[in-house]
Amino acid sequence: KTTLADSLIASNGIISTRLAGKVRYMDSREDEQIRGITMKSSAISLHYPHHDGGDYLINLIDSPGHVDFSSEVSTAVRLCDGAIIIVDAVEGVCPQTHVVLRQAWLESIRPCLVINKIDRLITELKCSPMEAYVRLQQILEQINALTGELFAVKVMEDSESSLEKSKEVNKSEADTDENNVYDWSTGLQDIDDSSLYFSPDQGNVVFASAVDGWGFRISDFAAILSKKMGVSQEVMNKTLWGDFYLNSKTKKIMKGAQAKAKKPLFVQVILENLWNLYDAIFIKRDKIQSENIVKSLNLKISVRDSKHTDARVYLCAVCSQWLPLSKAVLSMVCEKLPSPCSVSSERIEKLMGSNSLQFQSLPSNVKEIKEVILHCKSDKDTPVVLHVTKMVSVEKSCLPQNKPKTLTMEEIRHRRAVAKERLLRKNQQTAEENNEVIPDNQGTVATENEPAKISELNDQDPNECPEKNIKKADDEELEERNHEFIAFARIFSGTIKRGDKLYILNYGKDNKASISSNDEVVIGESLVEDTTSENAFEVTDLFLWMGRQLESLDQVPAGNILGIGNLEKHILKSATVSSVPYCPPLMPIPYAVVPIVHVAIEPAHPSDMAKLTNGLRLLNQADPCVETLIHESGEHVVVAAGEVHLDRCLKDLKERFAPGVEISVSEPIIPFRETIIPPPQVDMVNEAIDNNEVQNVARQQEFDKDYPNCEESDDKSIIMHTSDKSCKLVVKTKPLPKSVVKLLDENADIIKSITGSKSIRKDASLPPSADPSSDILLFYKSLKEEFEASGDEWKDVVDRIWCFGPRNYGPNILVNEIPSYNRSSIWNLQQDHSVRLQNDMYQKFDNSIITGFQLATLNGPLCEEPMTGVCFSIKEWTYQQHSAQSKAIIAPEDNLESLSTDNNNAKTELSSSSDERGVQSFTFNSGQLMSAIKDGCRRALLAQPVRLMVPTYKCTIHATSDVLGRVYAVLGRRNGQILSEDMQEGSSIFNIEAVLPVAESFGFPDEIRKKTSGLANPQLIFNNWEVIPADPFWVPTTEEELLHFGEKADSENRARLLVDKIRTRKGLIVQKKIVEH
């Protein structure tokens, strides 16, 4: 992509055409040049005079292709109206192509296709023109199949939502028509999707070789051939690609090339000419034939290029003049991609609204902003709306105000005169020193000035010195930073100018402006003051992105990519900026990659901790994907998307954000999960499992030591007591269905809104349809359907859900199965859950149960990792009545008051009524209940077949047949699992798909390249969480297991090794014998 960008930049004269593909102009970082990959998306503005007479300004953003930097693609897609998707002609459609195309589809931007590196089909694979044509057809079929899949999903979602709405409107009709069957394909047949797909005859496909500087569309050859063959250009556009051929006898274009075993027209008139050109110039290096080809094409090649020793230089000179790449790509962009003035209304509504805040429900003044953005107005009175997607760290030397300015002739003459005077004085001083002529007053001047300076220092006010020193220290701290943050943004409407006052609007936060029911903006006096101080700023610097350089601007109209300075203190990563406070913030950017690789860092010298903390803050702001955390243990943790991304983040931290701080980096910390599975039917040697009482009893005795207040019953339920034995609870666990766990993970945001829905509903300023209850209702129905489809045991579980965990939104549930506790449902948004009935012991200690459950699911019993996919059911919750001599004290009110006064900080008074004994009161500590629930849930998990879950990568490897054995050897050594192996037709390249644990992925790309001498290229994308089948507590007990594994189980238990490794890192107890007799 960067090589292609160089060719487009060279068309504007920014770089030389000879350097296109070599200088990599858009890769401004040193590590980008060394590694040969793009790590940061960068923008540039290009001018293109189209052949229709119009001049176009094209804002081009070069985004990374590596999987670790997919977040940079997400930030770039939000700012664009169209995308150029580049596919390698040899490697074909890769996993990253799927990700990029899906990102473009989610943002509703129109893509175009460039099939690059066609020269490799000629020089490396030695394909014939017909074989190359088949390969190009396969690539188009693959990417169109992916487009069709995305289109089908969208149509079915829209049709399903419209069906749900119609059912709600016509409930009576829906009840009568019970026998109606919904046809899911109805929407696909009604909608025209012909313009969605990539087809050369539509002009949205370019065949190119960026290295050699050539590219073409079908229309380029159609214009030439239509004159020679006497056929209209429209007919040539339709027949140059497809099942058409040229009849050499009749000189007519006929249909049915495949049935008649004829060469397609694309092969006859295009590919064969290209192959002949490469054969003459690059392969055979036939000078005579090369000169004849140049003359027939009416090209003018310089003598330097034609006589160059490198045939590639001569080939580039010929191809770039015959089929200029920049012309083909830029003309396709101007003709096929929409301009900012013709963006679709659907995309604007997507940006301004969400599932919980539909666009139709917005006030009228907000709808006017949509019309302004839709038509990309830049009038004087038009409100300014722009979106910042990331903050870019730029060196101060690259800013326009710090660059050396171009001197005029008068300034040059003045500087020359000053330099001459300086040189003359220096020569005179040298001559005087040689003659040893020293003025008499030299010593007196020195001695007179010295006491004067001392007296000046003594005359200073001592109270003023500390203030000046502090100010001087602050200035020095600012000067130490050799970089500044520039906001990477696009202006959607209006014209931004220096000195404008704008408001920063963050999604999901109070933006100090409320919308009343009469569609008017209401801003109180206090809100105006807060807005001015917190959410408002004055524009001081505007920049135009030009790749490695920045150009200063005074104003920028709508539709352009721009940079804004001095926003470091106002925006963390992304935000919406507008000149009106009632503008709704645009939707947050959906990132395709999840940060999963953790490392703990600390300074080598504790005195540098403040600098390191500040550097982590700057790193978090500079990268849209990285996360910087502080664990409960006090460790500073950096979370990155992959190994390459982590290397770049650590390098930026050391060299740019915390320079001079020596940093110690730990080994990568991989997150794990703890879960349970249904009881296995076979053991480690595939023998049927009988009820192994010996191992169960031994394991149960070991667990009882760690959890003394818990007892395991015969049905695997856990009976737990508080430390004073006054409260008894019974809990049981079972694994959640996989479909339910997936649904909970996908709807984490909706689960979060359940707990906060009450506060949202209290805000009368929001319109009625902004209530998120509609989303919650849809989620409730989906969850209920999944539970009912999983079996009768899950019937009515949804209505009895107590809470979700961990952190109130995780993929674990707590279910209320207490017969005497009719708890209000969490789905009832009208119920205020903060109100508790003080005369009900269940309601009074409800929060204690929830807190204990959250603590247990956040730190599992295996290695203090979060749980996932576990259902905890509270079967019983009783308080035991005791006599006056027992721990639960029964006393008159006076004694109770004195007792509660003494223990007011730690205990809570609980009252219970009895029909016969009257009112009885006793003291009870709610913290004991939290601890009991926490230990009981952890012990209940251990009563079931507990397993460890590891994150995995989906690994796609392109390798030749010669190195397949080495590839499999590396994957086997790293516990990889082969999923598929397909051979590309017409080549010796195999496409291998495998699953690789994230913990085993560090150093994997380098190792596989070394083992295969660079003939295998892996790509790693986060896949999912997988369960390790081995039991962490397994020891050989049966005769078959002892015979196979031995008494000591010499073979490694992978799950146990990982558990011990995690516990050792966290400082937990590890039951491991160092020396055995």
Give the model's pLDDT for residue 767: 34
Q: Cα separation of 799 and 825, whole Å?
A: 6
> Tokens 């503008």 appear where?
583
In the chain (1077 residues long), the average pLDDT of successive 10-residue segments reads 88 85 84 85 89 84 86 89 90 84 86 92 89 91 88 74 60 46 52 76 91 90 82 85 82 82 88 92 88 88 86 89 91 90 81 58 74 85 90 84 77 88 88 60 39 37 43 46 87 90 72 35 30 68 88 90 89 88 83 84 90 91 89 84 89 89 89 88 63 55 74 84 85 91 87 59 34 70 88 86 87 89 74 46 82 91 91 86 40 37 38 36 67 90 90 87 88 88 76 89 86 83 86 75 63 81 85 61
What element of type H or E holds 258? none
Sheet bearing 727-735, strands edge to edge: 710-712, 718-721, 727-735, 870-879, 812-816, 801-805
Cβ distance 710 to 720 under 8 Å?
yes
Enter the tokens of residue 55. 């001049």
Give the model's pLDDT for residue 87: 92
Residue 271: C-alpha distances to residues 168, 208, 231 (Å): 58, 12, 20
> Tokens 């913030």 appear where?
585
Give the model's pLDDT for residue 649: 92
Q: Cα separation of 939 and 933, whole Å?
A: 10
Q: Cα separation of 443 and 438, whole Å?
A: 10
3-state SS, 473-490, equals HHHHHHHHCCEEEEEEEE
Which residues make Cβ contacts (< 8 Å) with residue 252, sequence separation at least 6?
Answer: 246
DSSP per-residue string spanning 560-618: -EEEEES-TTT-SS-EEEESSTTSPPPPPPPPS----EEEEEEESSGGGHHHHHHHHHH
Give the model's pLDDT for residue 439: 43
Nearest of 118, 147, 111 to residue 135 by alpha carbon: 118
Give the model's pLDDT for residue 1050: 55
Contacts 24+ apart (CB under 8 A), 719-725: 720/932, 720/933, 720/935, 720/936, 720/939, 721/932, 722/924, 722/925, 722/928, 722/929, 722/931, 722/932, 723/928, 723/931, 723/932, 724/887, 724/888, 724/924, 724/925, 724/928, 725/880, 725/887
Give the model's pLDDT for residue 302: 87
Give the model's pLDDT for residue 1056: 85
Cβ distance 761 to 771 under 8 Å?
yes
Cβ atoms within 10 A of the Cβ of 245, count? 23
Give the model's pLDDT for residue 471: 42
Enter the tokens of residue 1058. 């990982």
Nearest of 587, 589, 571 to residue 502 by alpha carbon: 571
Cβ distance 949 to 1028 under 8 Å?
yes
Residue 647: C-alpha distances to residues 592, 601, 614, 641, 665 (Å): 20, 13, 19, 11, 11
Cβ atoms within 10 A of the Cβ of 47, count? 12
Q: Cα separation of 992 and 986, whole Å?
A: 17
Handedness of CA 372, 378, 382, 385 (dihedral sign): positive
Handedness of CA 89, 94, 96, 100 (dihedral sign): positive
Nearest of 41, 43, 107 to residue 591 by alpha carbon: 107
Q: Cα separation of 304 and 301, whole Å?
A: 8
Nearest-5° angle of CA 296, CA 301, CA 304?
145
Give the model's pLDDT for residue 688: 65
By CB neighbour count within 10 A (0-12 exposed, 13-18 middle, 19+ buried), where does 436 fall? exposed
Question: Can you tell me whether residue 998 is helix, strand or coil?
Answer: helix
Cβ distance 388 to 574 under 8 Å?
yes
Give the model's pLDDT for residue 272: 92
Residue 527: C-alpha distances to residues 362, 454, 509, 519, 995 (Å): 22, 54, 14, 18, 54
DSSP state of 342: G
Q: Cα separation of 855 and 936, whole Å?
A: 11
Give the model's pLDDT for residue 772: 47
DSSP per-residue string spanning 661-713: --EEEPPPB---EEEE-PPPSB-TTSPBPP--HHHHHHHHHHHHHH-TTEEE-
What element of type H or E holds 977? strand 977-983
What element of type H or E holds 246? strand 244-247
